Chain A
Amino acid sequence: MSSSASTRAAGVAQPAISYKARIRLYQLALLIGLFLFWGITTHYGILPSFFFGEPIPVLQQVFDWFSGTAIYMHLGITLLETLLAFVIGAVLAMIVGLWLGLNDLASAVADPYIKAMNAMPRVILAPIFAVWFGLGIWSKVALGITLVFFIVFFNVYQGVREVSPTLVANARMLGASRKQLIRSVYLPSATSWVFSSLHTSVGMAFVGAVVGEYLGSARGMGYLIHQAEGVFDINTVLAGILVLTIFALILDGLVTLVESKLHGWRPVADHSGH
């Protein structure tokens, strides 16, 4: 996104900074415009505020939450579930992806099962996980893992399969054993593919956590939203959605930060490739 913006900026005979500032300005104007439209239409009864809420009470609710303490606990739980789901899911997927990527027979045998599990709408597993793991965080983590696993798995598998044969031949000529080959060629190559899917997989872990909470729990942002929905408190529901959205944006920003820290060897322009 940013690269296309900068190439366009290069075509216009204007300094890039003013162009960027203009984009930010328009983005802010659009946000304010949307809130104004929402506020006016609900205030004058063009849209029923019972169904659509109203911006002032929604913002008020967000403000109340953050001046209290309970919200931090709920957010913390959701974040913990997201992190656990991502880490466990990614590590499992790395192991299975490496193994199947390097083993033709195993991958041929597993192929239909992997396809079936990937095709299945896995959100439907949430009630089963609730039965298995209870209403605590682990049922949400389990749901997140099933969502994260396949994204990372397919990337690792692809990464192992598409390692350049020259790279492998070179490492072998330099004296790498099978183990060293896996550690210094296949694993780094697969890791780079995991990084390219980081945004999607962290996002999926977050979805798993929130949906899991929504379907049955006693804590977390999904639980807050579910509670408010139960009493038709639409303003609180919208406030919850607003907080979740901002939270997801922050998470995405952190991923970008981690990515640029850990991924120094890769040219920046290459990211969109996969």
Chain B
Amino acid sequence: MPAVVKDHLSLVRSQQGAASSAVSLKSITCSFSTPKGGTYTAVKDICLDVGEAEFVSVVGPTGCGKSTILNSIAGLLQPTSGTVEVFGKPLQGINRDAGYMFQADALMPWRTAYDNVVAGLQFRGTEPEEMKHLGHQWLDRVGLGRFADRYPHQMSGGMRKRVAMAQMLILNPKIILMDEPFSALDVQTRQLMENELLALWSANRRSAVFITHDLEEAIAMSDRVVVLSAGPASHIMAEFEITLSRPRDVAEIRMTPEFLDLHHQIWATMRDEVMKGYQQSQQG
């Protein structure tokens, strides 16, 4: 049985015990003041547990506050109410256990590929010897060993994403946060990057929260897919356990009957919300 509904799932989680969750969102609500003087509630009462070594994807229609959730896990955004717990401790300030891969280009344009990759080590005051070793090791690992001296503007979109990936993973974060990291890439490059990310993640399993609006990507990558409702005040509508075997090839897995079955089920839940989100974006 490929999919499990929420009630069953929470039972499984509680059996595993609370200690195993890397990130725990305890009914967080995020509101922003609008220029007109009102308040806009992006997400409301979100409860989400991400287990250790678990790959969770959050999907939902555009403007449903997916990034808001990710930013509060990262500590870049303080929730209006509710708490974020990281390995059982309430989060204060920046989440030091997390690495973040952004949707937009976040590489420093004045640094070469190598200097970008080692930026985090530099900030942490790592020894030069070790930094050099790790920097080149990670450049090789993402297949950019020969491009260490290239500046971001001299690289393709896919190469820049690889640098960003190495830049994040070199710090060996316990939690990986990704906000539609591959949405700007073409389909082929994108599947290539997804496979590379999965390979790197499998080699050293940690918790991952992956934000996407692409349901196929979410299913192909994750252990669990969380579906958000349309905004404002989005909430979690349903969760689906993805039991497809690993290692996976994101391009091939899309053809399997299990995948299509899951896709069908989740899409049935999402469809109405996507329509709602679309209509709202047309009005707003």
Judge if B171 is at the interface, Cβ distance under 8 Å.
yes
**Cβ of B102 and Cβ of A166 under 8 Å apart?**
yes
Given known contacts A184-B119, A264-B151, is B109 in contact with A173 (CB within 8 Å)? Answer: no
When the two chains form their complex, are residues B110 and A169 in contact, meaning their CB atoms are under 8 A apart? no
Given contacts A185-B108, A188-B110, A264-B151, contact A172 B171 (CB under 8 A): no
Residues of A within 8 A of B (CB-CB), count: 22
Interchain CB contact under 8 A, A173 and B98:
yes
Name which residue of chain B comes closest to A268, CB basis. B153
Q: List which A183-206 residues lie within 8 A (CB) of chain B.
A: 184-185, 188-189, 192
Shortest distance from the beta carbon of A234 to any chain B beta carbon, whole Å: 50
A180, B94: Cα distance in complex, Å: 15
Q: Which residues of B contact A177 (CB under 8 A)?
A: 123
B227 at the interface (CB under 8 A from A): no
Which residue of chain B is the closest to A174 with respect to CB atoms?
Answer: B120
Interface membership of A273, Cβ < 8 A: no
Q: How far is the CB of B274 from chain A (nearest CB, A)?
A: 26
Chain B residues with Cβ under 8 A from A175's Cβ?
Answer: 94, 96, 120, 123-124, 171
Tell me, in angstroms, the Cα distance from A175 to B76 when the chains sit together.
Answer: 12
Evaluate contact between A167 and B108: CB separation under 8 angstroms: yes
Contact with A along B120-137 (1 / 0, CB 8 A): 101110000000000000
Cα distance, A172 to B102, chains bound together (Å): 12
Is the C-beta of B104 less than 8 angstroms from some C-beta in chain A?
yes
Do A266 and B109 touch across chains, with their CB atoms under 8 A apart? yes
A166 touches B105 (CB 8 A): yes
Residue A113, interface by CB 8 Å: no
* Residue B29 CB within 8 A of the other chain: no
Contact of A174 with B171 in the complex, beta carbons under 8 Å: yes
A164 at the interface (CB under 8 A from B): yes
Set A164, A171, A174, A267: member contacting B104, Cβ < 8 A: A164
| A267 engages B98 (CB within 8 Å) | no
**What residues of chain B lie closer than 8 Å to A264, measured between beta carbons?**
151
In the complex, A185 Cα to B106 Cα: how many Å?
A: 11
Smallest beta-carbon distance A271→chain B, Å: 13
A-side contacts of B106, CB under 8 Å = 164, 166-167, 169-170
Judging by beta carbons under 8 Å apart, are A180 and B153 in contact?
no
Chain A residues whose CB sits within 8 angstroms of the CB of B95 once the complex forms: 173
Let me know if A173 and B108 touch, CB within 8 A: no
Cβ < 8 Å to A, chain B residues 156-201: 167-168, 171
A66 at the interface (CB under 8 A from B): no
Contact A173 B119 (CB under 8 A): no
Residues of B in contact, count (CB < 8 Å): 29
- Determine if A174 and B108 form an interchain contact, defined as CB atoms under 8 angstroms apart: no
Report the minimal beta-carbon distance from B118 to chain A, rounded to whole angstroms. 10
Query: How many Å from the CB of A213 to the closest CB on chain B?
Result: 38
Judging by beta carbons under 8 Å apart, are B99 and A180 in contact?
no
In the complex, whether B226 has a CB less than 8 A from a CB of chain A is no
Is the CB of A265 closer than 8 A to any CB of chain B?
yes
Interface 1/0 per residue, A199-236 and B, CB below 8 Å: 00000000000000000000000000000000000000
Q: A170-B100, A174-B119, A175-B120 are in contact. Are A184 and B108 (CB under 8 A)?
A: yes
Closest to B112 in A: A265
Q: Tell me the minimal C-beta distance from B47 to chain A in angstroms.
A: 24
Q: How far is the CB of B74 from chain A (nearest CB, A)?
A: 6
Q: Which residues of A contact B168 (CB under 8 A)?
A: 174
> Is there contact, CB below 8 Å, between A174 and B167?
yes
The smallest beta-carbon distance between A51 and chain B, in angstroms, is 53
A176 interface contact, C-beta 8 A? yes
Distance of A177 Cα from B94 Cα, bound (Å): 11
B153 and A266 contacting across the interface, CB-CB below 8 Å? yes
Residues of chain B within 8 A (CB-CB) of A171 are: 108, 119, 123
CB distance from A266 to the nearest CB of B (A): 7
Q: Is the CB of A265 within 8 A of B123?
A: no
- Closest residue of B by beta carbon distance from A267: B153
Q: What is the minimal beta-carbon distance from A181 to any residue of chain B, in angstroms? A: 9
- With a CB–CB cut-off of 8 A, which chain B residues contact A173? 74, 76, 94-95, 98-100
Tell me whether B119 and A265 are in contact (CB under 8 A). no
In the bound complex, residues from chain A placing their C-beta under 8 Å from that of B119 are: 171, 174, 176, 184
A175 to B74, CA, bound (A): 12
Residues on B with beta carbons closer than 8 Å to the beta carbon of A174:
119-120, 123, 167-168, 171
Q: Write the chain A residue with the least CB distance to B167.
A: A174
| Chain B residues positioned under 8 Å from A184 (CB to CB) | 108, 119, 122-123
Taking the nearest CB of chain A, how far is it from the CB of B72, in angstroms?
Answer: 13
Q: Interface of B with A (CB < 8 Å)?
A: 74, 76, 94-96, 98-100, 102, 104-112, 119-120, 122-124, 151-153, 167-168, 171
List of 9 A-B pairs having minimum Cβ-Cβ separation, nearest first: A170-B106, A174-B120, A173-B100, A265-B151, A175-B123, A188-B110, A166-B104, A176-B123, A265-B110
A169-B106, A184-B122, A267-B153 are known; give 17 further A-B pairs, CB within 8 A: A164-B104, A164-B106, A166-B106, A169-B76, A169-B100, A171-B119, A172-B76, A172-B94, A173-B76, A173-B98, A174-B120, A174-B123, A174-B167, A175-B120, A175-B124, A184-B119, A188-B110
